[in-house]
Amino acid sequence: MKHRNSVEFEVAGEYGLFSDPVMRVGGEKFSYQIPTYEAVKGILQSIYWKPTIIWVVDEVKVMNLIQMDTKGIRPIKYFNDKNDLSFYTYLKNCRYQVRAHFIWNENRPELEEDRNEHKHHNIARRMIERGGRRDIFLGTRECQGYVSPCIFGEEKGAYDDIPELAFGMMYHGITYADEAYSEETKGKMCVRLWRAVMRNGIISFLPPWECIHRPIREMNMKKFGVDMENFSIAEEQEVMG
């Protein structure tokens, strides 16, 4: 579904790693075959983000064939300088088209004056044309990606002819306390799960509030405000000269 402030872009990278959380804890990373909601949201945040907005990913279209590549990695241990040997299974030659929109972050009342839809939408679109403000990466930081504008669904993808492909229960993302939307998620950090399905190459993501939630632990949201002396609105500053 297209919203008034939807953006569309294509992201591509040689490698992608959307780690399966259960296998990750042993030290070996094993990628899901499709991007997680959180990873795509991270790409959007790298393109453009302000604390006023929350990005919501609507659809992702898988353009290239899903291929995996396992590499032996020698990460350095945390507590000494010795090497560890692990096998990370990456996705190869990833290319996705994304459609997303943004909503206001209601947990930030101090930013109410910044809720100017045109402003954020236009900046986001311009930043997509420029390939994003910050570095793009697909899942983990070593998987460099590149963003370019596109028209969602115009180009034919590798899975267009397959009516349905199910991926089972997957990790959706983590809801942090500052983006909470319900009593259950306020003041906590929650993991979200959902049952992923790809239809004709397109994955329609559930919005975060419709997923299965697993609260992990308590988390405090940092509050900003003028009276707390850690926040000020730009026009208050005097322009010099």
Partner 1 sequence: MSLFSQLYKTYEINVGKEQDPEQQMTPVAHMNANAQMEIVLNMDGELREIVVINKGEGTTLIPVTEASAGRSSGIAPHALCDTLSYIAGDFENYCETDKQKKTAAGRFKEYMENLKAWAESSWTHPKVQAVYRYLSQRKLIADSIEYGYIQVDENGKFCDKKISGQPYEKVMARFRVLGSAPGQTGTWQDDTLIKAYTDYYLSKQEGKADICYYIGEERTISENHPKGIVAANYGAKLVSANDMQGYTYRGRFQSAEQSYALSYEASQKIHSALTWLVKKEGVYVGSKDKRMFLCWNPENKKVPDIFDSLDLEGDEDEEYTPISYRRDLRKALQGYRNQFKDVDSVIILGLDAATTGRLSVTYYHELAASTFIDQINRWGETCCWYFLKFDKKKKAYFSVETPIFRRIVECAFGCERNGFLEVDDKVLKEQVQRLVKCMIEDQRISFDLVQALKNRASAPMAYKSGTLRERVLSTACAMIVKYHNRYMSKEEGEMEDMKLDETNTDRSYLFGRLLAICEKVERVTYDPGETRDPNAIRLQSAFVNHPMQTWKILEDLLKPYFQKLKPGSREHYRRMIEEIVELLNPEDEQKLNMELSEKYLLGYYLQRAELRSKKKEDQEDKEND
Q: Which of 32, 48, 96, 205 binds partner 1 (CB under 8 A)?
A: 32
x/- track of binding to partner 1 for residues 216-235 (CB under 8 A): xx------------------
Our finding on whether 84 is near partner 1 (CB under 8 A) is yes
Q: Is 8 buried (19+), middle (13-18) or exposed (0-12) by CB count in 10 A? A: buried
d(CA 53, CA 111): 10
Q: Which of 14, 20, 160, 178 binds partner 1 (CB under 8 A)?
A: 20
Q: Could you tell me which of 104, 141, 101 has the C-alpha nearest to residue 124?
A: 101
Least distance (Å) from partner 1 to the CB of residue 148? 27
Least distance (Å) from partner 1 to the CB of residue 208? 15
Structure-block tokens of residue 131? 């390939």
| Residue 68 or 228 having the CB closest to partner 1 | 68
Element containing residue 124 per DSSP (H, E): helix 117-129
Element containing residue 234 per DSSP (H, E): none
**Measured between alpha carbons, how far is residue 140 from residues 11, 30, 42, 98 in Å?**
14, 12, 10, 18
Least distance (Å) from partner 1 to the CB of residue 84? 7
Question: Taking CB under 8 A as the criterion, which residues in 132-191 touch partner 1?
Answer: 166-171, 174, 189
Structure-block tokens of residue 22? 């259960």
End-to-end CA distance of the chain: 48
Least distance (Å) from partner 1 to the CB of residue 213? 8
d(CA 166, CA 161): 15
| Residue 89 or 204 having the CB closest to partner 1 | 89
| Residue 189 or 221 having the CB closest to partner 1 | 189
Contact range with partner 1 by CB under 8 A, out of 8-16, 30-38, 134-142, 201-209 = 30-38
Interface with partner 1 by CB under 8 A: which residues?
20-28, 30, 32-33, 67-68, 70, 72, 75, 77-79, 84-87, 89, 166-171, 174, 189, 193, 195, 212-214, 216-217
